[in-house]
Structure 1
């Protein structure tokens, strides 16, 4: 299996549609379920932070779940809490603009032409993130009214990928288990909760043609697959008309009801790949602006030194934000914020539960980061 999505795909319908608060695993199930009626290879190789482990899927069935999420408390604008590396600065009140205006303005600001790599050059994509890991104990079938128990930590991670000009050649991926770890909460004292430990897939360097870093996974990754978010063919095949993109998002999430929040989540996941061409990104913003409920939440969120505006859609459990630099139209990252009734009862509403900063550039050699 390429990652936990494949394992979750095999779970029975009841497990995949459970209302138990499963944190980031819920998001993965959402993506996997949507993928059942959309191209199944679309998101696999990029969702590196979920370990390749059938045991995790078995744990879900048993009621004990390894989860992911993200960073922590300090007051910030918009009623949310800031993360390590994510701060809020004082800027003019752009919240006077609607989210639709903000996204359309960001689309207008995209003036750059995508860099053309020369032979020997690489596209470098770096993701710095905090994801939650913890344990949840499911309720017994004999006592369905039992309170779910568990705990959540925040863990700092990084992923770097080098993609050659000829994508059929070897890519390099490096995953790092960084030192940051923070307690987010739990139904037991922190002293009784084990800190997260790195799994095999959390660290190390891997190489593979077309980004096939796990060649024994099934189904096999295929170069030029038009359903794979890592493939240029995927982006070439997507429409550029915003209304048509909305229809694509609706069809891709049909299995989950195509709610605006679900469609927005799917759209942000594709942006996270770091490979979307500039012309498509402009249309993508305009498409997301058409979704009901899209709102500007923070005027100035700083991720790893870059400041952008957080735009998202909230439901009762959580909110997913994309963070865009309105001056350049650059997608600089994303985050998840706990809603009024968080999936995990021990999480305080308004807590930032997800964070990642995405950086892309062209470098001249494999392994170069400058």
Structure 2
């Protein structure tokens, strides 16, 4: 208890007499639990659930701590909650620490935060005779966020074009997309080229941090990792292949925006460390020319894996990707059927 109190320098030490009384009561409780009837009760509890025995012991320890020192050290006495593997949790927590130490870029008056993304998505088509074809498309864009985030944001959207090698169906699909975009009625927004919107509300949609919370209300989100994860799982209930996978996808979506403040990015990393099934899948993952550590979670059927790739030195997210773990008629096992890389910088002008 003295060691625990030394961690909180603003709280005085308990008097020796108080410590002695608490120790005596605790030892008396231990002595009582060693009697035959107590041992028999513990044996009966073990038949029901081994977790109940551990929880009971921890509750006794918590009560003793309260009696002796007048404080509750919750992180010390509560049972370990299931979460990411120890290796993944260490990397995510280290990334959170690095994120706090790495200050957010300073955007001065007249300047912009430039968020550049490169993305790949899978596409497909079905011919009149029922023949199916699939391929990968590449696209990208740059978002310019003004120093005053209520000001005009600029988004340069690039065309979505098939990657090489491509089939005739892929080429035809790309041509049709371009014709459709060029033939839009006057006043209807294009899907490529320069887009402008006050406060980043492109196509009438405000930028969000996580589902249900716009960027302007990022300060309202909890910074406690467990509370943040609970909120994410509540808002994504019933979505995605599994609650755990959907939670990681939601965290990746938030980090990918490039505008999440450092303290919230740190909380998102720590929340990811609490998700069961999250593990390190590649310590040298390269995405769009940058290398980092890939943290991922498999889908329940084992057919795919969602990953986030982190630069462990800075805590910045390099990007995210979805990898097919089973071969299909269109893609071999190990294919990244979708991925997005993110890079931020400060610039003096926007298109």
TM norm structure 2: 0.64
Matched, 1:323 2:309: yes
Give the distance between the partners of 1:245 and 1:100, measured in 2 at CA. 16
User: Which one has the bigger helix percentage?
Assistant: 2
Q: Evaluate the alpha carbon distance shift between residue 99 and residue 120 of structure 1 in structure 2; reply closer, same or farther with a 3 A threshold.
A: same
Cα distance, 1:227 vs structure 2:
6.4
- Name the counterpart of 2:173: 196
Matched, 1:176 2:158: yes
Cα distance, 1:225 vs structure 2:
11
Deviations 1:116-152 (A, max 9, x none): 3222111111001122221258xxxxxxxxxx96221
- Name the counterpart of 1:154: 136
Structure 2 counterpart SS, 1:254: coil
Cα distance, 1:155 vs structure 2:
1.5
Give the distance between the partners of 2:265 and 2:278, measured in 1 at CA. 17
- What is the correspondence of 1:1-370 to structure 2 with a 5 Å cutoff? 98-110=87-99, 111-135=101-125, 150-177=132-159, 181-182=163-164, 190-191=167-168, 194-197=171-174, 198-199=177-178, 200=181, 201-214=190-203, 220-221=204-205, 231-233=215-217, 235-256=218-239, 259-315=243-299, 316-340=302-326, 345-367=329-351
Cα distance, 1:203 vs structure 2:
1.8
Structure 2 counterpart SS, 1:118: coil
Instruction: Please identify, of 166-175 and 221-230, the stretch whose mean Cα deviation from structure 2 is larger.
Output: 221-230
Structure 2 counterpart SS, 1:337: strand
Give the distance between the partners of 1:289 and 1:226, measured in 2 at CA. 17
Give unpaired runs (5+ residues) of structure 1: 1-95, 138-147, 185-189, 215-219
RMSD: 2.9
Q: Evaluate the alpha carbon distance shift between residue 356 and residue 222 of structure 1 in structure 2; reply closer, same or farther with a 3 A threshold.
A: closer
Asked if 2 retains the 8 angstrom alpha-carbon contact of 1:168 and 1:223, the reply is: no
Q: Evaluate the alpha carbon distance shift between residue 335 and residue 168 of structure 1 in structure 2; reply closer, same or farther with a 3 A threshold.
A: same
Asked if 2 retains the 8 angstrom alpha-carbon contact of 1:229 and 1:270, the reply is: no
Count how many residue pairs are aligned between Structure 1 and Structure 2. 250
Structure 2 counterpart SS, 1:109: helix
Deviations 1:247-281 (A, max 9, x none): 01111211328621111111111111111111111
Q: Evaluate the alpha carbon distance shift between residue 196 and residue 166 of structure 1 in structure 2; reply closer, same or farther with a 3 A threshold.
A: same
Give the distance between the partners of 1:365 and 1:224, measured in 2 at CA. 24
Give the distance between the partners of 1:195 and 1:272, measured in 2 at CA. 31
